[in-house]
Amino acid sequence: NAGVTQTPKFQVLKTGQSMTLQCAQDMNHNSMYWYRQDPGMGLRLIYYSASEGTTDKGEVPNGYNVSRLNKREFSLRLESAAPSQTSVYFCASSETQGGYGYTFGSGTRLTVV
Amino acid sequence: GENVEQHPSTLSVQEGDSAVIKCTYSDSASNYFPWYKQELGKGPQLIIDIRSNVGEKKDQRIAVTLNKTAKHFSLHITETQPEDSAVYFCAASRDSWGKLQFGAGTQVVVTP
């Protein structure tokens, strides 16, 4: 019962370094999302993919890029990490683009120093 | 776009007492309102949801109420237990095509 799998679980980067956060789901869901969670700010949408082959910006897309590699995988890339990108990142998936039945991964805790 | 406000930010209750978390939303077209529970070190998990054609929904010790006129909805937890300690998030969306907009979260602490 894997659901949504995120890697890595923890990462420390130096300012200016790049990295890719990986996400894979095994529920045959069409839609996938990347959120960041910061204290007192809830979950904010970075990018989403309504279906394979499409991606769109969310509320806070600056400094990030995404790739929907196939129906299962949706990666988030930081090209030049900044301390403001220190956060916990969550990937989620759902059967449709609507709000129903989001399943979240367990998160990646990223620190940029 | 949609804006969801959630109160309180922290809530401390004695075991066995009730806990209430309240959310307001701005988009009158929103019609789906889920609640998520996040335990330490884990991702949020859906615990209950309500759609706009229903005023109240219960599932054992948890219930959600919706007032569409006032644009607010609430989560009620009765007979709280230590395992209810977690962060709870409300959210809203326009159902079939909208994305979820989350509230800022409520840290609930249940003390024995």
d(CA B6, CA B73): 10
Does the pLDDT at position B96 exceed 60?
no
Partner B contacted by A44 (CB < 8 A):
yes
The stretch B80-90 carries a mean pLDDT of 97
pLDDT for B98 equals 64
Which candidate from A92, A97, A107 shows the least CB-CB separation from B97? A97
- What is the model's pLDDT at position A95? 83
pLDDT-derived band at B111 (thresholds 50, 70, 90) equals: very high
Contacts A–B by Cβ distance under 8 A: 65
Q: How far apart are CA B88 and CA B75, in angstroms?
A: 9
Give yes or no for a contact between B33 and B73, defined as CB atoms under 8 angstroms apart: yes
Question: How confident is the model over B46-52, as a mean pLDDT?
Answer: 91
Look at the block and give the residue holding tokens 């969801």.
B4
* Residues of A whose CB is below 8 A from B4: 42
Question: Of B24, B35, B100, B106, which to mutate for an interface test with A (greatest number of A Cβ within 10 Å)?
Answer: B100
In angstroms, the CA B81 to CA B63 distance is 15
Task: Please tell me the distance from the alpha carbon of residue B19 to that of residue B8, in angstroms, as a whole number.
Answer: 11
Beta bridge partners of B35: B48, B90
pLDDT digits (tens, 9 = 90+) for B66-78: 999 999 999 999 9
Pairwise CB contact (< 8 Å): B99 & A33 = yes
Is the minimum CB–CB distance between B95 and chain A shorter than 8 Å?
yes
Instruction: For chain B, give the mean pLDDT.
Output: 93
A61-to-A45, A56, B59 alpha-carbon distances in Å? 8, 9, 36
Length of chain A as a residue count: 113
Nearest-CA distance A108 → chain B (Å): 10
pLDDT at B52 over 90: no
DSSP secondary structure letters along A35-88: EEEETTTEEEEEEEESSTT--EE-S--TTEEEEE-SSSBEEEEESS--GGG-EE
**Contact between A98 and B95 using a beta-carbon 8 Å cutoff:** yes
Grade residue B97 by pLDDT with cuts at 50, 70 and 90. Answer: low
Give yes or no for B54 touching A (CB within 8 A): no
pLDDT of residue A39: 86
**Residue range B22-51: mean pLDDT, rounded:** 93
A102 touches chain B (CB under 8 A): yes
pLDDT < 50 regions, chain A: none
Q: Would you call B44 and A43 a contact, using CB atoms and an 8 Å cutoff?
A: yes
